Amino acid sequence: MKLLYRFIFLMAFMLVTTTTTKAQDMDDILFIDLEYGRVAIEMKPDLAPTHVERIKTLAENGFYDGIVFHRVIDGFMAQTGDPTGTGTGGSEMPDLPAEFSDYNFGRGTVGMARTSDPNSANSQFFICFDNCSFLNGQYTVWGQVIEGMEYVDQIKRGEPPRNPDKMIRVSVGDSSTNGMSTPEDTQNSDNE
């Protein structure tokens, strides 16, 4: 009987621990709802804690909702995060110091955009379409796409694109499908 109680206790402990870990992990997932579907980005606070905190703050304040992808280069990356849509804007928050790492800029890697000053990142970021290892050590990596890269691949190309795609909604840790846009939702909202 003691063995049965130990087993039940162990299973209950594992369930609570797993649930807590998943909830904590969700705090480091950024969701970007596009016209095509939802993109999930695992944020990397171990690599760039200040940048991750900035992205979370801006997302939680709705800053990114409705912002376009203003620079999208085939075989390279899709850039967004500028409220002016020109590539020259940012948030009202101060620029961030660089947090460069040796993490490889591969397909789906998310980095912070900046000017020629390494310490000028603010709100703009980019998602790599392909291997961009030539950026290693020169830009701050703060995330990696873990789901929905097929939707990133559909973002319209151009500098700027003629009819740019936008981030419909950006949220942190929202694993539910509530608020998630699908192509059908977008079409329905356009017809209302």
Helix (H), strand (E), coil (C) string for 95-150: CECCCCCCCCCCCCEEEECCCCCCCCECCCEEEECCCCHHHCCCCCEEEEEEECHH
Question: In whole angstroms, what is the distance from residue 97 CA to residue 104 CA?
Answer: 20
pTM over 0.75: yes
Residues 75 and 130: beta-carbon distance below 8 Å: yes
The residue behind tokens 């390279």 is 76
For the cut 60, the answer to whether the pLDDT of residue 129 exceeds it is yes
Q: Does any domain span residue 17?
A: no
Handedness of CA 60, 63, 66, 70 (dihedral sign): negative
The residue behind tokens 């990133």 is 152
For the cut 90, the answer to whether the pLDDT of residue 41 exceeds it is yes
Query: What is the arithmetic mean of pLDDT over 120-135?
Result: 98
Residues in the chain: 192
The two structure tokens encoding residue 151: 């939707």
Q: Does any domain span residue 42?
A: yes
Instruction: Report the percentage of the chain scoring pLDDT > 70.
Output: 78
For the cut 50, the answer to whether the pLDDT of residue 180 exceeds it is no
For the cut 80, the answer to whether the pLDDT of residue 12 exceeds it is no
Q: Does any domain span residue 1?
A: no
Task: For 139-176, write each residue's pLDDT tens digit.
Answer: 999 999 999 999 999 999 999 999 999 999 999 997 55
- Which has the closest alpha carbon to 70: 55, 54, 81, 59? 81
Question: In whole angstroms, what is the distance from residue 6 CA to residue 10 CA?
Answer: 6
Query: What is the arithmetic mean of pLDDT over 25-45?
Result: 96
The two structure tokens encoding residue 84: 């002016």
Query: What is the arithmetic mean of pLDDT over 103-117?
Result: 98
Lowest mean pLDDT among 14-23, 41-50, 143-152: 14-23
Q: Does any domain span residue 128?
A: yes
Q: Does any domain span residue 51?
A: yes
What CATH number did the domain enclosing 112 receive?
Answer: 2.40.100.10
Q: Does any domain span residue 16?
A: no
For the cut 80, the answer to whether the pLDDT of residue 178 exceeds it is no
Handedness of CA 112, 114, 120, 124 (dihedral sign): negative
Residue 104 structural domain:
33-172
Q: Which residue has the higher pLDDT, 32 or 22?
A: 32
Task: For 55-88, write each residue's pLDDT tens digit.
Answer: 999 999 999 999 999 999 999 999 999 999 999 9
Residues 101 and 47: beta-carbon distance below 8 Å: yes
Q: Does any domain span residue 148?
A: yes
Which residues have CB under 8 Å from 96's CB, separation 6+?
50, 51, 54, 112, 119, 121, 122, 140
For the cut 80, the answer to whether the pLDDT of residue 15 exceeds it is no
Question: In whole angstroms, what is the distance from residue 35 CA to residue 26 CA?
Answer: 23
118: enclosing H helix or E strand: none
Q: In this predicted structure, what is the pLDDT of residue 25?
A: 81
Q: Does any domain span residue 13?
A: no
Number of domains in the chain: 1
Q: What is the residue-averaged pLDDT of the chain?
A: 86
Q: In this predicted structure, what is the pLDDT of residue 174?
A: 73
